[in-house]
Amino acid sequence: MINRTTSETPGSTKAHGGGVLIGALVIDSVGNGLFLPLSLVFFTRLTDVPLSLLGILLSVAGAITLPIPVWTGALADRLGALPLVVAAQVMQALGYLAYGRVDEPVGIFFAVSLVAVGVRVFWSSIFTAVADHADASTSTMRSDSWFAWANMARTAGLGLGGLITGAVIADGRTAAYHAVAYAAAGCFAAAAAVITVFVRVPKLRHDAGQTRTGYGTILKDRRFLALTGINTVFAMTGMMLALALPTFVLTGLRGPTWLASALLVGNTVVVSVLAAPVIKRLAAYRRTRIIMTAAALWSAWCFLLSGLVPGRLVWVIPVLIGATALFTLAEVMHAPVSIALVTAISPAELRGRYMAAFQYSFTIAGIIAPTFFTTLFNLHRSLPWIALGATNCLAIIALRLLEPNLLPAAQHNAAAEKTLGDDEEMSADHLA
């Protein structure tokens, strides 16, 4: 039995600075976008460390961050998520500052690890921070819309950062690479400073005597574990546009080099512009049905790609454009609504843990996706898409079977959210 209240911060129990928070996410994402294209190229260009060793260093740095969401979730429940978001941005700023100063394996490993830990802490706490802000905000926007705006901010920032990096390093000068690293550090430092100064989010708390057993509760929550498992399929599908489409277009279809880039840019622009308006239009529908519709669109995307053959660009290009439009609409629908659904089914005092644990669906997807695609693609260009489309169909069935156990949290209208508050004895005032 949960009582959702807020632990009062000096002066107010209301959240402040929502627009600033979204703006800070743009700045943060510009920092990510600046360096994303240089993840491996940076050190191969500026150091004498062998590529094989760099690969090992990056992989180990990523592996050591796997337990981070567990700790981050617990800290978010105890301290609030916003300080962790700021700490994550500071770690990334320091890490990118170090990028410009290290040239040997130990230093590189330290810098890469600092950034990797910061990234993992950020993604394990940012959605909790946004959800807490939505709860305590005077805005009439629901959590789904807040997450949609966050998704728009992230996508726009990544795209802008990538464009800047492409222009800056076009001449290949060493100073340009250093400038990108320092600019990324500046973006993260600026985002941390802006959030610290202007954003206030009251920390959710639970009443004395109503504590739960932390991650023990999550391990016993079968509906949440099932939802996380199903979302792994959707998370892997969402990664395939950037991960697999360029290889499929260039190698599988022998298409022009500009085609994949144009599709990726179009996807970025549409997500940056339409995410929030689309989610607003879908406000009357169940969250689970929105996610199932997104999965159906992803399935259609996969099956359309599976039917393409090389040498017929006259109809391959229109099909790719139409299929990418389906993918983009699915992405716009799934990202904010899935996070909002997890927020709705999470106990207030364990929200940080639930949101952090849900991120493992994306972590696992990131581990599986490269091997899944390359193994099947080596057998036949169509196999990855047939398998992925079929897997999404199975995930739709699984989510439909799970749906009755998620209601009324799966509903997305005011009456259902009020029912959720009554059923779990929560105060629903924060949803207004």
User: Are 5-205 and 215-431 the same fold in CATH?
Assistant: yes
| DSSP labels, 95-147 | HHHHHTT--SHHHHHHHHHHHHHHHHHHHHHHHHHHHHHHHH-SS---HHHHH
- Tokens (6 digits) for 28: 């943060």
- Average confidence score pLDDT of the chain: 86
The pLDDT-based confidence of 348 (bands split at 50, 70, 90) is confident
Q: Other C-beta atoms within 10 Å of 19: how many?
A: 12
**At residue 177, does pLDDT exceed 90?**
no
Average pLDDT over residues 341-368: 92
Give the tens place of pLDDT for each residue, 210-231. 455 678 889 999 999 999 999 9
Helix (H) or strand (E) holding 234: helix 222-247
Average pLDDT over residues 74-85: 92
Average pLDDT over residues 328-354: 93
- Tokens (6 digits) for 75: 């800290």
Rounded to an integer, what distance in angstroms lies between the CA atom of residue 61 and that of residue 136?
36
Average pLDDT over residues 365-372: 91
Q: How high is the pLDDT of residue 8? A: 39
Q: Which one-letter DSSP state was computed for residue 285?
A: S
Highest mean pLDDT among 35-44, 60-69, 103-112, 392-401: 392-401
Contacts of 221 (CB under 8 A, 6+ apart): none
Q: What's CA 277's distance to the chain center, in Å?
A: 19
Specify whether the CB–CB gap between 288 and 398 falls below 8 A.
Answer: no
Give the tens place of pLDDT for each residue, 58-79. 889 888 999 999 999 999 998 8
The CATH code that applies to domain 215-431 is: 1.20.1250.20
Average pLDDT over residues 169-185: 85
Question: What ranges do the domains of the chain cover?
Answer: 5-205, 215-431
Specify whether the CB–CB gap between 337 and 231 falls below 8 A.
Answer: no
Q: How high is the pLDDT of residue 166? A: 79
Q: How high is the pLDDT of residue 85? A: 95
* Local structure of 9: helix, strand or coil: strand
The CATH code that applies to domain 5-205 is: 1.20.1250.20
Give the tens place of pLDDT for each residue, 89-128. 999 999 999 998 898 999 999 999 999 999 999 999 999 9
